[in-house]
Structure 1
């Protein structure tokens, strides 16, 4: 009698089970060169557009500047608000704050719409990377806010670098006074070889990653982050290679910004 009772609180399995289909093993990165055919020191193609969010917002809530940035499969948007009244009415220097978030469909590790600790940590990274480039003494008592949304991610370190580049373009579109634009790039180590601008599959196969953001005109590194262990010589080599990649990315950003003024 008890075996025929239907329990509404449980999800009853099907009467017949079927063996699951297993997907084929993904190709090993760097087995026959890079998966997308790039050279080891080559950065993915870059596309930039400034002002895409300005016309889509009502005049009262329109951002001061915005930018959309693509680098391979990475897609990032940024909106800049400010300068506007800051929290401290007697501050001699302005403040720069950043909000960072992944769209729920942007990556496999984004599980909830609630902001994670990882996103808060990345927001602090962006503030440290971009803050030194802004002339905050020119905006006393003011606040400049950047809101970054990752639409699609393909490599964690590469996505953070793309966010830095996107913020830099959006700040220029907003007319914020800068010492220089900030360009960023990432590298990952596979064996004993450093590889530029890795995708997520390539980062998963790597043993170490490095992120560098730099102001090329004044030759100053604003932020440096490394995950994994290397020798000091290998780290120095990666910083130099990353700095060279930053100069290339910086040239692309500057060419686009100059074209918008013509």
Structure 2
């Protein structure tokens, strides 16, 4: 009789099982030497959508503007609140504050929903990169707040660059007065050549990385960050290459912003 007793606390598996189908891994790299087949001076495909977080009904809790940004496997959302009452009532110029966070499932180094010191440092970078483009003197006693969430990350420097691009699109959607939109990109040194828009795998193997934020129309650099050692000639080469990539990214963002106005 004991052989016929069924243990109801267990989940009985199927009598026949099938081996799962795993995605095929690339067996060899392309002629350019990159796993995804891109050329060394190619940027991953970019997609921008403005207003995804703005509902039809207006309320105090609704953001003034928002944007969703994709670049390869990188996915970022940004919400802009303001201009609203700032902390300093006697300030002659407005303030721009940024909150940056990784989603717990966005990358391998994010383990908790608690805000880390790296996220605070990146938020400070974003503030310094975006603030020169905003006409803060037009918003006295006011504050403009940006809330950035990384849904998926693929490369730390590339993710920071994508966050800058996403904030720029969200500011335009919010109607904030700007001198110019800020476009950002990242490059990494592999051997003796600079590779554009690196993935996390490529950044881990790179000897040095450089991230630039720039206002292309005004021809002004708002932020520059480099990790690793290079010669002055290599650094100058990276800056010139990054400036050209920023112009290309700027053109793509402007194309999507213009298309959103025509809808």
Q: Confirm or deny a common fold (TM above 0.5).
A: yes
* Aligned counterpart, 1:242: 242
Cα deviation per residue 1:88-134 (whole Å; 9 max; x = unaligned)? 00100000000000000000000111100000000000000000000
Distance of 2:39 and 2:185 partners within structure 1: 15
Cα deviation per residue 1:58-88 (whole Å; 9 max; x = unaligned)? 7231000000000000000000000000000
The offset of 1:32, in angstroms, is 6.3
Distance of 1:31 and 1:201 partners within structure 2: 18
Indicate if the aligned counterparts of 2:161 and 2:213 stay in contact, CA closer than 8 A: yes
Verify: 1:169 aligned to 2:169, yes or no: yes
* Aligned counterpart, 2:12: none
Indicate if the aligned counterparts of 1:100 and 1:148 stay in contact, CA closer than 8 A: yes
Distance of 2:46 and 2:121 partners within structure 1: 26
**TM-score (norm: length of structure 2):** 0.87
* Aligned counterpart, 1:64: 64
* Aligned counterpart, 1:196: 196
The offset of 1:251, in angstroms, is 0.2
For structure 1, the 5+ residue unaligned runs are 1-24
Which structure 1 residue ranges, 4+ long, deviate > 2 Å from structure 2? Answer: 25-32, 56-60
Distance of 1:136 and 1:192 partners within structure 2: 42
Per the alignment, do residues 242 and 90 of structure 1 end up closer, same or farther by CA in structure 2, a change over 3 Å counting?
same
Cα deviation per residue 1:145-192 (whole Å; 9 max; x = unaligned)? 000000000000000000000000000000000000000000001111
For structure 2, the 5+ residue unaligned runs are 1-24
SS of structure 2 residue aligned to 1:195? strand
Distance of 2:83 and 2:149 partners within structure 1: 20
The offset of 1:55, in angstroms, is 1.5
SS of structure 1 residue aligned to 2:238? helix
Distance of 1:57 and 1:204 partners within structure 2: 45
Equivalenced residue count is 238
**TM-score (norm: length of structure 1):** 0.88
Per the alignment, do residues 59 and 199 of structure 1 end up closer, same or farther by CA in structure 2, a change over 3 Å counting?
same
Distance of 2:27 and 2:206 partners within structure 1: 14
The farther-off stretch of 111-120 and 94-103 is: 111-120
The offset of 1:31, in angstroms, is 8.6
Distance of 1:259 and 1:188 partners within structure 2: 32
Q: 1:63-102 residue pairs with structure 2 within 5 A? A: 63-102=63-102
Let me know the Cα RMSD of the aligned residues.
1.8
The offset of 1:56, in angstroms, is 8.1
* Aligned counterpart, 1:105: 105
Cα deviation per residue 1:7-33 (whole Å; 9 max; x = unaligned)? xxxxxxxxxxxxxxxxxx998978961
